A and B are shown apart, each in its own frame.
Chain A
């Protein structure tokens, strides 16, 4: 499947991926509204780790055998059979964060429900990749080896 691969060599720690991810997962889809006005506040589904010296965006690997799905106590975390996307059914999630406790890559964040990358499955085009100005994020099925 196509996944988002991050390259620390190219990451500038600008965090625009977070900005566009949050906006893409907001109700309004408008940057200012998403950041300043929306209640409940939307969350970015990926996070840049590191500092200006060395940084890289961390987002879900959509694992073949996802530990988060195995650990989910409500059936809210699912791997879509057709697309391979691992996503949270927000109405079933109780926010226990059992998924966070087992995600080996630190891709899940705390909220009233588990907050994680869904590869922008509604639009089919990850907003983080589209808006990364320096191609530190690529969306490919090639394991991130090739741009």
Chain B
């Protein structure tokens, strides 16, 4: 059996490992257009600020893949999928497959900024190779401008702030981190970031135009008219699913590659898709969406891998859960956080620098936002994932969650390591 996997990040690696777990002898080949062995993509901002080196970022050393019999082909961009002959093309080379998984991830969405395209100091923030370029250009006199205050933009800004003179973050939305925070929590985090760093925000604003000298950007003009000096422009507005190979091969693609949530199979029974490039079915609101998060990619990669190897395992439901910190301000969010209208209700607790919001649908917890209050957050996540009837719980759910929320029989189960009663 020949297994091919396109993409060597969270989903691709989990897929390869799961195939190997179920099939000891099949040939497994993982293609990546990047030059590095699988690495921790979310760590690129930590690499930028110097907290980790590029070797520590590798998920496993080369020997690990040799021992598992997983071939990782770096610098190998798959250019086409020939479904009729079940062959992948990478430049002039061909690779036959019996089962294929697309784990092509995300591509940066580059906002249209007049005069920025192709400039040497305008870079995206998604791959280690470009982050190395950013790091080489950044120094103590660098005035950086980051477009986007989402997860990627904010992490880029944090990394840059440690090594640059100033960082200006320009964001179209009225508040930062709109995908994981509500407005009140965002205000709190913004204040913390401003107090802890040289980062300044320009919210409800855009970068309209770049000023340049030759191939170098020297400044930017904002939508508001304000002009900022700029030695380094980081384009981090967001990402889009990388679906071009799937589309060219004629697979069903909506906002992402369409799969069966239980198997991650596409409309071609020999082709699977997992991770940021694939549509997920959110178990909390039954909406099809892109859940571009590491943990979700790993789960989907595993589901795909086990099915490809003919050893299907029950797939858990998909939902978003995220933990991140900015300058020591810890944020943990899960599930539906912008669900403010009926049938949803919410409870908010704010004290000092901390913020807690729990979102409910009837008797079930369906989401939370925790800022500076993440202790035992996984217990909340467990209530959400297992759709626990919260009327069976004892004590105040707004307190730090703990084992005595559960009645004795459930506690005994949980102390043994059994999650759902």
Contacts and interface: CB of A to CB of B under 8 A. Distances in A.
Interface of A: 3, 5-6, 8, 49-50, 54, 56, 58, 61-63, 67, 70-71, 73-75, 91-92, 94-98, 100-106, 108-110, 143-144
Interface residues of B, number: 45
Contact of A58 (B10, B52, B59, B403): B403
Given A73-B10, A98-B295, A101-B374, 18 more contacts: A3-B417, A63-B417, A70-B299, A73-B294, A74-B43, A75-B58, A92-B52, A96-B42, A96-B324, A98-B321, A98-B323, A100-B323, A100-B378, A101-B321, A101-B322, A101-B323, A104-B385, A110-B330
Contact of B52 (A71, A94, A105, A110): A94
Nearest to B56: A92
B247 interface: no
Contacts of A105: 378-379, 382, 403, 414, 417, 419
Nearest to A50: B404
B323 to A, nearest CB: 4
A35 to B, nearest CB: 21
A61 B416 CA distance: 7
Contacts of B416: 5, 61, 143-144
Interface of B: 10, 40-43, 46, 51-52, 56-60, 294-295, 298-299, 302, 321-325, 330, 332, 334, 374-379, 381-382, 385, 401-404, 411, 414-417, 419
Contact of A101 (B43, B52, B57, B377): B377
Given A6-B415, A49-B402, A106-B401, A98 B294 contact: yes
A74 B378 contact: no
Main secondary structure of the interface of A (DSSP, over half): loop
Contact of A100 (B42, B374, B415): B374
Enumerate the 5 nearest inter-chain pairs by beta-carbon distance, A residue then B residue, closest first. A61-B417, A104-B382, A106-B376, A103-B378, A75-B59
Contacts of A109: 375
Nearest to B46: A94
Interface centre among B298, B323, B402 (most CB of A within 10 A): B323
B374 A144 contact: no
Contacts of A94: 40, 43, 46, 51-52
B337 to A, nearest CB: 13
A50 B51 contact: no
13 contacts: A5-B415, A6-B415, A50-B403, A73-B41, A75-B58, A91-B56, A92-B56, A94-B52, A98-B323, A104-B414, A105-B379, A105-B382, A106-B402
Contacts of B10: 73
Contacts of B52: 74, 92, 94
A45 to B, nearest CB: 15
A6 B374 CA distance: 24
A104 B56 CA distance: 28
Contacts of B401: 106
Contacts of A144: 415-416
A106 B415 contact: no
A100 B330 CA distance: 11
A20 B52 CA distance: 32
Contacts of B323: 96-98, 100-101
Contacts of B404: 49-50, 54
A101 B374 CA distance: 8
A124 to B, nearest CB: 20
B382 A110 contact: no
Contacts of B378: 67, 100-106, 108
A140 B385 CA distance: 29
Contacts of A102: 295, 321, 378, 381
A58 B10 CA distance: 30
